[in-house]
Amino acid sequence: MSTNDTRRDEVLFAFHEACEHPTAEQILEWTSRYPEFADDIIAHAEHQLSWKAQPELHGVEPDEADIARNWSWTLNAIYDAEKAGSLEAAKGGETFSQLLERAGVTIPALARRIEIDRLVLGELNAGRLRLPIDSRLLQALSNALGSAASDLEQSIARTLSAPMLGNAKASNKPEVHTQSYEAVILNTDMSEEKKNYWLGRDSPWTPGGISG
């Protein structure tokens, strides 16, 4: 057994002992403390919750439907905790959402201000947009929010490191689906001129202009 496997087993045993019935907050705390074992911790929590939820089945291996239901419960609990800010607090530092809150601006208002489809900012805020982001958007956000470029980039990095989970369905094991910046831009209803501008390409349209 490798050193990493031994360390993982030690962490999982400590988690099992400390969290007999894991809550979303406990799961977030332990995955933040041991990010290299996050998947193992979540899987172990799912198994514990499934086991605790069905005492009459002790000694019987739970079937796939039972596991899926409890996996769904676990991920939804984490999602709710993320929305409440638990994950941001655990990781420390300001996220893009917190940057918006400090600036006193909503995503729709910010999207109107810089003249971009709100879907782009929504996916960014949810952490489902993959880097790199074009410098035109970064500069527009920095100007609109009155934030230093370095602070903005750090807040975006924190947000993208912990994408929000959509509500899980019991029928399958959900995954977080992310898209490239280019794919998100191309999937909007913006004009081709606007899409080209925000992708850093030549375009007759510019924010505040008439075309597009």
DSSP 55: G
Give pLDDT, residue 92: 55
For 9-20, write each residue's pLDDT tens digit: 888 888 888 888
Domain boundaries, the chain: 3-90, 93-198
Query: Rounded to the nearest 10 degrees, how much is the dihedral formed by the CA atoms of 79, 81, 83, 86?
Result: -130
For 178-207, write each residue's pLDDT tens digit: 899 999 999 999 999 999 999 999 999 999
Q: Exposed (0-12), middle (13-18) or buried (19+): which is 142, by Cβ within 10 Å?
A: middle
Q: Which CATH number fits domain 93-198: 1.10.260.40, 3.40.109.10, 1.25.40.10, 1.10.287.3510?
A: 1.10.260.40
Distance, CA of 98 to CA of 143 (rounded, Å):
17
| Phi, psi (rounded to 5 degrees) for 148 | -65, 145
The percent of residues above 90 in pLDDT, for the chain, comes to: 33
How many other CB atoms sit within 10 Å of the CB of residue 18? 11
